[in-house]
Structure 1
Amino acid sequence: MIENIPLSKVQKERLTILEPQLRSCVKTADLNRAKKITAEIQELLRPTCHETRILQAKNWLYETALEAGRLTYAKLGFEGTIQKSSSRTRLHLEAISLLAICYLRENNLEKARGMVARAVGNINNIKSPERRKQFHRRLIQRLEEESILVGLKSEITDSLILEEVDYRAIQLVKMKSENEIFAEMGRAVPQRSVDLLQDIRSAYILRLPGPDRKMLLPPITEENKEALGKRASSALKRVAWRAVCCSDSDIYKAWSQGLSVVYDKKYIVGAIVAAFTSASISVMMVAASAAALAIKFGAEVFCEMYAPSSLMIDRKDKS
């Protein structure tokens, strides 16, 4: 790719506005907005042949599509990035990793394992040990979270009953500490989620060089219900956060307008139940635990703590 033309002042100023706006679309899963912003970035950068930066913007677009449930669109996009980028670049690695997540979401475990193996092999191209450790930890955590979500979605039996979830959530708030709520959620995670989590982690470690295995956090075990609950809660934030905190949600609109309805605990539980139902998650104690955490923290703290994060790492991001 020919990218030897320096960015102009106008380009830099526009990108400082457009790129953060595009990254924020991943949290909200706002695909239409992401498409418009990506088109603006492409129009801005195409005349000066900054193709790599355009591909980076498109990765944000495809990750937004992934979060919006548009998996075919996302897969085709990531496959395009993989074809157009050097195998030694972070851009290529991120596209492979996100494509693995697309296959996990589809419950296509064979292809997911294959893409995980490719991703692990490509992480070795990251020369900085700290950055390599950062990416390993972020990727394995995301894969474990996605495994939990797949397992939860496969356990569809009865619909969630708002009154029952509300009662259980209020009892959890009154009777349990934060860590005890996480343990309750861990106990409610179905066996399929646990098995899939362990399957994907094994596929990951199988391809990992010995020295790099030390970079991973300890495995989540079935016996440690609190740790399992925390990982499940981290996975479910992609559902619960949008129900409570996304600017398009009824709760967020009421909250931002200072309406007293947001202090009605059942209103918060109802939003989370609706979001879980839409995501085909019907495990009652998982929904009740998620609602209890939202009530216990309060909307402002919950929205800050549980905002969904992207797999892609910004240059300034050290976490």
Structure 2
Amino acid sequence: MAVEKFTLIQKERLGRLEPALKKAVLRGDLNSIKSIIIDLQSMYLATGNEAKLLMAKNRWLEVEMDQGNLVTAERGLIGIRIKANNKTRVYLEATTLLAICYLRSNTLEKAEPLIKEVLTNDTVIKSPERRLDFRRLVIERFDEEAVLYAIKSERISELISDTEMIMSEAVNLAGTYSTDKLYENLGLKIPKIAKDILSRVDTFSKRQLPSAERLKLPSPTLSHEDKKVGKTVFSSIKRNLYKSLCDKEGDINKKINTGLLSIQTTLTVAVTEVFNKLNIGIKIFLVNVLAIIIKLGLDVYCDMYKPVDVMDLR
């Protein structure tokens, strides 16, 4: 079906629904996302804009991944890759997301061919500068997902329950060290197996690029430096932390604004809940991450670490 122009009424609806979808994605509100996509679907399909529908579904499936629904995400992304033209941006984005899905499900052998497909595609993004920007950000995301999986795979568990002790240790670290030193300390605590997996994914990804592009990116050896590793680990959990800490209408900000709990106590409880959700039971990671957030301040953290979805790299 040829693509038709939207009517004025459709444009008005799209002007409400498309921004609402992005807000729902940022909040991780799956019920709202699905409802909005149903409303959008009738307009997109009636006008031959299937690519826009697939784009919206990519956004939805990234949230499914964020909430641990990997089987749903995998099936949906495979379906999008079948439906989409393999020379389109929506296909490239679905392939990127599917690679991330496999990184999260501990299947590097499935992720690597998709990583290669994403990073060797020279046709979808025509501008060399924009293509390099996309690849740089995608490699950063692959690195973050790899190290997050590696931390979980360690299967080291400590009981994370003493809020006062965790907060006290984090406040002490924040008051003692600079932000750079806190990143370095976090990197020092990362097990060797996690660093090896990070190095594997980072090196594999960069090997897919032409040498001229590779030279413009950080050297693969930097993935072994403790400060760089610490920043990657800290960034790897930002998607979950941001939705918990930075939603102005969320429970955390309401508790802070109403003074029900101190900011530090509220942050400690919130970060602990995210770690439990991610099955990261290593207390020293929690303390170091919390110390960095305290050191930065919540407003600065929310400004610096707002996660960028794959669909936002356009």
Is TM > 0.5 for Structure 1 vs Structure 2? Answer: yes
Check the 8 A contact 1:241/1:307 in 2, yes or no.
Answer: yes
Shift of 1:245: 2.3
Provide Cα deviations, 1:141-182, integer angstroms capped at 9, x if missing partner. Answer: 000000110111122322224344222201112111111111
Provide the C-alpha distance between the structure 2 equivalents of 1:250 and 1:51, rounded to a whole number of angstroms: 37
Shift of 1:51: 0.9
Q: Which amino acid aligns with 2:201?
A: I
Partner SS state of residue 75, structure 1? helix
Check the 8 A contact 2:198/2:223 in 1, yes or no.
Answer: no
Provide the C-alpha distance between the structure 1 equivalents of 2:232 and 2:223, rounded to a whole number of angstroms: 12
Identical aligned residues as a percent: 33
Check the 8 A contact 1:105/1:150 in 2, yes or no.
Answer: yes
Q: Which amino acid aligns with 1:293?
A: I
1:1-319 to structure 2, matched below 5 A, reads 2-155=1-154, 156-162=156-162, 163-219=164-220, 221=222, 223-246=224-247, 249-255=250-256, 258-313=257-312, 315=314
In structure 2, do the counterparts of structure 1 residues 98 and 228 end up closer, same or farther at CA, with 3 Å as the change threshold? same
Provide the C-alpha distance between the structure 1 equivalents of 2:255 and 2:293, rounded to a whole number of angstroms: 16
Superposed CA RMSD in Å reads 2.0
| Structure 1 gap ranges (5+) | none
Partner SS state of residue 221, structure 1? helix
| Structure 2 gap ranges (5+) | none
Shift of 1:223: 4.7
**Matched pairs, number:** 312
Shift of 1:137: 0.6
Partner SS state of residue 166, structure 1? helix
Provide Cα deviations, 1:35-83, integer angstroms capped at 9, x if missing partner. Answer: 1111111122221121111111111111111111111111111111111
Provide Cα deviations, 1:222-271, integer angstroms capped at 9, x if missing partner. Answer: 5522222112111121232233224675312223xx21235341231122
Provide the C-alpha distance between the structure 1 equivalents of 2:39 and 2:9, rounded to a whole number of angstroms: 13
Partner SS state of residue 275, structure 2? helix
Check the 8 A contact 2:99/2:111 in 1, yes or no.
Answer: yes
Partner SS state of residue 260, structure 2? helix
Provide the C-alpha distance between the structure 2 equivalents of 1:231 and 1:90, rounded to a whole number of angstroms: 26
Check the 8 A contact 1:28/1:246 in 2, yes or no.
Answer: yes
Check the 8 A contact 1:254/1:261 in 2, yes or no.
Answer: yes
If the length of structure 1 is used for normalisation, what is the TM-score? 0.90
User: Moved runs in structure 1, 4+ residues, more than 6 A?
Assistant: none
In structure 2, do the counterparts of structure 1 residues 203 and 274 end up closer, same or farther at CA, with 3 Å as the change threshold? same
In structure 2, do the counterparts of structure 1 residues 142 and 220 end up closer, same or farther at CA, with 3 Å as the change threshold? farther
If the length of structure 2 is used for normalisation, what is the TM-score? 0.91
